[in-house]
Amino acid sequence: MRSIGFDHVIDYEKEDFTKSGKRYDLILDTKTNRSPFEYLRALTPTGTYATVGGVMAKLLQFLILGWWIRQTTGRKVVLIKLKQNKHLAYLGERFEARQLVPVIDGPYKLRDARDAFRHFAAGNHKGKVVISMD
């Protein structure tokens, strides 16, 4: 994340940022696996929490409670719906210019696909899980 310009990166396996006492103006989450209230305590009074995916039960909580959170706390909760392949040409250009480096977990051999899926389902993967067909 630092290699693409982020100033502050948190390793969720080593630090629970919702309990650190630090407050953030923006939390962009791709793994949404906590209750909305845990994220709220890590936001500034006018902060925004945005998610692009995660555990379905937690996403439903945000969907149901989002309006209430905005009304009672002034904080924003945003569920971002990504349009598949919308910026594919732009991403391709960044990749060709070596400004975008994919993070790959694997490759796993096809005979190990079951283990790869278990690894993915446990949420222990780093980047995209790749299965090789050879």
The tens digit of pLDDT for each residue in 121-133 reads 888 788 888 998 8
Q: Look at the block and give the residue holding tokens 């906590």.
A: 34
What tokens does 112 get?
A: 């190990």
pLDDT score of 83: 67
Q: How confident is the model over 7-66, as pLDDT tens digits?
A: 777 887 788 889 989 999 988 887 888 888 888 999 999 999 888 877 788 888 888 888
Asked whether 102 and 128 are in contact (CB, 8 A), the reply is: yes
Count H helices, E strands: the chain?
Answer: 4, 5
The more confidently predicted of residues 79 and 108 is 108
pTM: 0.57
What's the DSSP call for residue 49?
E
